[in-house]
Structure 1
Amino acid sequence: MSGVGRLATRPAGAGVRGIRTAADAAAPISLAELNERAGLLTRFDRSYLLPTEVFLRLAERLTDPRRPGGPFRALTIDGRRAFRYHSVYYDTPGLRSFHDHRQGRRLRFKIRERVYEDSGERQFEIKLKGRRGDTVKHRSTLTDGADPLDAHHRSFLASTLRRTYGIEPPAALTPSLTTDYLRTTLVADGERVTCDAGLLCGDLRTGRTVRCDTDLVLVETKSAGHLTDADRLLHGYGERPAVFTKYCGGLAALHPGLPANQWRRAARRAFGAPCATP
């Protein structure tokens, strides 16, 4: 497990109850079958901040056994359908990754350690932006006790950035933000819908935290193409994608002085008025 600024959290509220209800109502799918049918390390992502009531309507439609093409199923591992995630994001002292995303630079990246808390699995991940605007994820397993910024993973980062973008890696990286949340994943052929609730973001440089509205579910649609059935259903409900990522939205909420206008509206909806707590 990461030893960097671990933030304990116990998710609660309507959003958490909602994703558990949706997962329990769906047929199961194993991790092996998910990876076969919808691995999607290269994909298009769209994010939505949904009231729990709207999320449950969406989940009911997607998991309906009568759905044309078959119902979405819930990822199930050892009988569990909701999983605790902990991530540590790494950035330069000047927040290069944050500002590159803010400025819409094509050659931009995010670096993080992801911990699957229920299994203890750890992954070092690099998320890049592809030429078509898609997200491309590169991963390297972290063994017990491994430092995400050790020589091996710095070499993995350097080779990935040189091969993909032709650029050198940042000389200095430090932990900048943690995220903790509960996730349920709904899966159909070529599509995934991740459903997160109980989001807590922590600034590792100041010790401040912000917690997402407990009635909201952060839904991300993931596919190799553009609009999915889930997107179309949500558009029919009057919902549109939010300009929001956990990393950039969390930093925008924790640092109201940062230039982050494109994320400010969604961050206010997710976290409320600037209210970071020590």
Structure 2
Amino acid sequence: MIENIIQELDFRIVTLKELKKKPSFMSRNDKKFIVPETMLPSILTYLQRSFQILSVDGKKIQTYKNVYYDTDNLRCAKDHFRGKRPRLKFRKRNYLLTGESFWEIKRKSARGRMEKSREVVEGEVDGCPDFFSVAKDNEKLFCSLVNRYLRSSFYDFTSCEKVTIDLDLSIYDDGRFISLLKGFAIVEVKGEHFLQSMFCRFLKERAIYPINFSKYCYGIGTLNPNLFPEKRKMITRYLNKKNRNYE
């Protein structure tokens, strides 16, 4: 559905080459929203006014695959569930369309700002890379989750704002990928000036509010139902409410 809508709206394009000359959004504030897929036509129509869409080799939707790393007792996930700051996440991000891969560390500061650092994956690595050596007390990290989703990325360079829309989130378990959040999209706004963000106001006017959500933690909670089950129930109640509101 989203591909047809994007095609019909005729977005202005930004390429990967052009992005290298623009703000990287590696250091930013961000907000996440979970919206019913039925809202995507109105959201995309709004974005088309002032946002450009990333096109990679002519494709406006890219497939992302993330491999997350955590400690034996899932400290990174638990820190997020508890709202601890500062906190860290470790992953390898694979862009399946281009074949590029990066080691990434995401830091959530005490003030809630996201700082991301990355390093190109070169060759085969046995275990975790030295890039992850910032793990607290030299704790050993292991592969804790693999997820996959489709993403479209939109940029408004005038307001220095980036919006991503993620669909078809799935996690790998027991030899297969399991779909999560069917019928919903994850919308993330990344930038500096949310009080002036017209897009955030647009969502608020439609009773869509920010939610504390992590694709990694939601996946971990799915695989480990006894790990902070009240958090997963909260997300489930939220989704059920949105379904009723937009039926």
Alignment TM-score, normalising by the size of structure 1? 0.77
Correspondence for 2:17 among 24, 32, 56: 32
Question: Which residue is 1:128 aligned to?
Answer: 107
Question: Which residue is 2:162 aligned to?
Answer: 192
What root-mean-square deviation, in Å, do the aligned CA atoms of Structure 1 and Structure 2 show? 2.3
More strand per residue: 1 or 2? 2
* C-alpha distance in structure 2 between counterparts of 1:255 and 1:144, whole Å: 32
How do 1:135-214 residues align onto structure 2 when only pairs under 5 Å count?
135-147=114-126, 149=128, 153-154=129-130, 156-158=131-133, 160=134, 167-170=136-139, 172-189=140-157, 190-203=160-173, 210-214=178-182
Instruction: Kindly state the Cα deviation for residue 51 of structure 1 after the two structures are TM-superposed.
Output: 1.1
Distance change (3 Å), C-alpha of 1:98 and 1:21: same
Deviation digits for residues 181-203 of structure 1, max 9, x if unmatched?
A: 11110111111111111110124
Q: Is the 8 A contact 1:29 1:76 kept in 2?
A: yes
Deviation digits for residues 127-149 of structure 1, max 9, x if unmatched?
A: 00124211100101002334461
* C-alpha distance in structure 2 between counterparts of 1:176 and 1:270, whole Å: 25
Which letter does structure 1 place at the counterpart of 2:28?
A: R
| Structure 1 portions without partners, runs of 5+ | 1-16, 65-70, 162-166, 272-278
Instruction: Kindly state the Cα deviation for residue 20 of structure 1 after the two structures are TM-superposed.
Output: 5.3
Find the residue that maps to 1:133 and give its secondary structure. Answer: coil
Correspondence for 1:63 among 42, 48, 58: 48
* C-alpha distance in structure 1 between counterparts of 2:233 and 2:37, whole Å: 22
Which letter does structure 1 place at the counterpart of 2:163?
A: V
Which letter does structure 2 place at the counterpart of 1:259?
A: F
Question: Which residue is 2:95 aligned to?
Answer: 116
Question: Which residue is 2:27 aligned to?
Answer: 42
Question: Which residue is 1:251 aligned to?
Answer: 220
User: How many residue pairs end up in the alignment?
Assistant: 236
Question: Which residue is 1:67 aligned to?
Answer: none
Instruction: Kindly state the Cα deviation for residue 82 of structure 1 after the two structures are TM-superposed.
Output: 0.6
Deviation digits for residues 192-246 of structure 1, max 9, x if unmatched?
A: 111111110124xx65754124321111111123342221110011111122110
> Identity over the aligned pairs, expressed in percent?
30
* C-alpha distance in structure 2 between counterparts of 1:19 and 1:97, whole Å: 34
Q: Is the 8 A contact 1:115 1:123 kept in 2?
A: yes
How do 1:14-25 residues align onto structure 2 when only pairs under 5 Å count?
17-18=1-2, 21-22=5-6, 25=9
Alignment TM-score, normalising by the size of structure 2? 0.86
Distance change (3 Å), C-alpha of 1:39 and 1:264: farther
* C-alpha distance in structure 1 between counterparts of 2:108 and 2:90, whole Å: 12
Question: Which residue is 1:84 aligned to?
Answer: 63
* C-alpha distance in structure 1 between counterparts of 2:232 and 2:30, whole Å: 16
Q: Is the 8 A contact 1:73 1:188 kept in 2?
A: yes
* C-alpha distance in structure 2 between counterparts of 1:23 and 1:269, whole Å: 31
Correspondence for 1:240 among 191, 209, 212: 209
| Structure 2 portions without partners, runs of 5+ | 241-247
* C-alpha distance in structure 2 between counterparts of 1:49 and 1:269, whole Å: 9
Correspondence for 1:98 among 77, 85, 88: 77
* C-alpha distance in structure 2 between counterparts of 1:61 and 1:27, whole Å: 13
Q: Is the 8 A contact 1:244 1:267 kept in 2?
A: no
Instruction: Kindly state the Cα deviation for residue 177 of structure 1 after the two structures are TM-superposed.
Output: 0.7
Distance change (3 Å), C-alpha of 1:24 and 1:192: farther
Structure 1 residues 119-128 or 258-267, which shifts more? 258-267
